[in-house]
Amino acid sequence: MASNNSGGSVEWIPEVRCWCGEVAPVRMSWSCANPGKRFRACPHYGVHGNGNCRYFQWLDSDVTDCVSKVIRGLLKMLDKQESEIQRLQAVIAEKIVKLKKKSLASKIQFLYGFGF
């Protein structure tokens, strides 16, 4: 049996196996459509290919508006951080290209200035 501690109370959730025999763990949805809802899904659920199992089960009804707002806010913050990371990675890549060009120009200047 698995236990889940939520809000100070301990809730016992029995282990469940999906149709392919794998343990279907309890997870939480982080989607905007179902924020905070717990569900079970086969580890192979949604995986394309021969090992695709379609076992999926919602464990909760809709969560409260407060929980939904908090999770949606967290998702927005995560999206902003991911966008900022991508922007900074682009800036870093641009700086690396400029640095390589300067390094190459410096090497060429050294060779032509002293080598020939």
Number of domains the chain contains? 1
Question: Residue 4: in which H helix or E strand, if any?
Answer: strand 2-6
pTM: 0.49
Domain presence at residue 55: yes
pLDDT single digits (tens) 96-112: 999 999 999 888 888 88
pLDDT single digits (tens) 73-97: 888 899 999 999 999 999 999 999 9
- Tokens read off for 106: 């410096």
Q: Report d(CA 58, CA 5) in Å as an integer.
A: 18
pLDDT cut 90: percent of the chain above it: 22
Where in the sequence is the domain holding 36, given as residue range(s)? Answer: 2-63
Domain presence at residue 89: no
Q: Report d(CA 116, CA 112) in Å as an integer.
A: 6
Domain presence at residue 19: yes
Domain presence at residue 100: no
Domain presence at residue 86: no
Domain presence at residue 77: no
Q: What average pLDDT does this structure show over 44-52?
A: 69
Pick from 78, 75, 97: nearest CA to 30: 75
What number of other Cβ atoms are within 10 A of residue 35's Cβ? 20
Note the pLDDT of residue 49: 59
